[in-house]
Chain A
């Protein structure tokens, strides 16, 4: 910061070169987002201008060879999988963060946290592979066919749980211990302290985690591609196979041409919009939480 050009009286030639080259790098990095959005827009433009957004909902179905591009079942499947996994992962993640802080013996709590960090580091393709080899047959033995919405929800739950758990964990750690001590001194039981003090005080942090988890669940590709069965349909129950936006792109990009390809880019645009919405909500919440702490 001290180096900003007006602070230094002597502008040697090399210094200017350094500043210019750094500026070039910064401009490249800063314009990357514009480039990404621009290219996705450019590629989806034929579909956007010729077909329009409405056809994504009014066409008879998803038959790219017959130029019929209805995305409703795919968007529905995406939403169902993401919402289902958040419904499972949010309580599990919050409970396990509470476990580390209030229930576990210190050493076990530390191990458990490390385990969750390891879980966060497992690549999605490995989750997908394990889901395909272990989870899908398990679901099939309960209720065929196996590759299903349920399998997708379960795998996604495992994948977004670390996000929710780790963020909740750190926001609980920020609850002043004085609150916990004085609540305990009032004769509140462990759960009463959690319910009345810890959860309300750290709720913004928890919400941040939930929204980031939701964003991650929506954007997840590989695991869901491998365990969900990829049938384009609105599922009537948990054991029906589904196809998500991400899986649709991954499956059909390889051979898509013309309008089909353009529609796939458009669905990528829709997906990016959805994910960025949730990420910005999470960022706004994080901002709010930081302000609350600073106050």
Chain B
């Protein structure tokens, strides 16, 4: 959080970047988002081996908006994020109860098609996790697995997705080289491209900038802003300044007696300017957390 000042200083051109001029923080919610609910959590609780990690979360997330989940470590933000694409299934001893609705469909239902769900919901992790293969193969694996086998289509999809994340010009000559040779920021953008190549509706970002240096972090952040309107983005961040810069909606999570809870949720300007809950104002002003 201490480097937020320097981050924005390092990117004086951000406001002038093409395509972003019209964007203003705080007012964006009205401008960009249709007020239709895309995703909804009802009474969601997550238990890790008898320890209650998250209790009774009720949250609605609007289509095409960027929602930031903020709060101190260990308050269940990441668990919440991982339950949205049911990645919690992979974690031993983790049980999720309650309802999660995407477009009115409960994804917690027993016979949910998880592969379809995960195609619908893309996810980026804190550390860039490129597979130890070539750049091309990283993008081809999900495409092929979802039934795209034609070489021309594959190539064009790969190009489009790399262009979307602004990586095409940087890597077009070395698509067959190992992806691990890319810089951290490039790797994270490749991960984003890999998630977007399946054209998901929802993108889950788990602190996508925290493992990156300020410059790469700025590039990735700009990229996330450019997704507004096309994807529903849910981003976990420890960086309040980042949430202030990019989010339309903010949800504050807090661990009360070791149990994660949703404290407050609302449009970014309301949360930042007139928080309702005392924890929120304390967190935003920096006296707690």
Contact = CB atoms under 8 A, between A and B. Distances in A.
A196 B141 contact: yes
Nearest to A185: B123
Given A187-B116, A188-B142, 15 more contacts: A176-B129, A179-B129, A181-B87, A181-B90, A181-B125, A182-B129, A184-B90, A185-B121, A186-B118, A186-B122, A186-B141, A187-B117, A187-B118, A200-B132, A200-B133
B71 to A, nearest CB: 22
Interface in B114-139: 114-119, 121-123, 125, 127, 129, 131-133
Contacts of A179: 129, 131-132
A32 B85 CA distance: 60
Interface string B177-198: 0000000000000010011001
Interface of B: 85, 87, 90, 92, 114-119, 121-123, 125, 127, 129, 131-133, 141-142, 145-146, 191, 194-195, 198, 204
A179 B141 CA distance: 13
Query: How extensive is the interface on chain A, given as a class?
Result: 10 to 19
A183 interface: yes
Nearest to A200: B133
Contacts of B194: 186
A186 B195 contact: yes
Interface string A90-112: 00000000000000001000000
Given A180-B90, A187-B115, A196 B129 contact: no
Contacts of B114: 187
A182 B131 CA distance: 9
B127 A183 contact: no
Which 10 pairs between the two chains have the least Cβ-Cβ distance?
A187-B118, A187-B119, A185-B123, A182-B129, A186-B142, A178-B129, A192-B145, A196-B141, A187-B115, A188-B145
A234 interface: no
Contact of A184 (B87, B133, B146): B87
A188 B142 CA distance: 7
A2 to B, nearest CB: 38
Contact of B92 (A106, A184, A187, A189): A106
B66 to A, nearest CB: 19
Contacts of A187: 114-119, 142, 145-146, 198
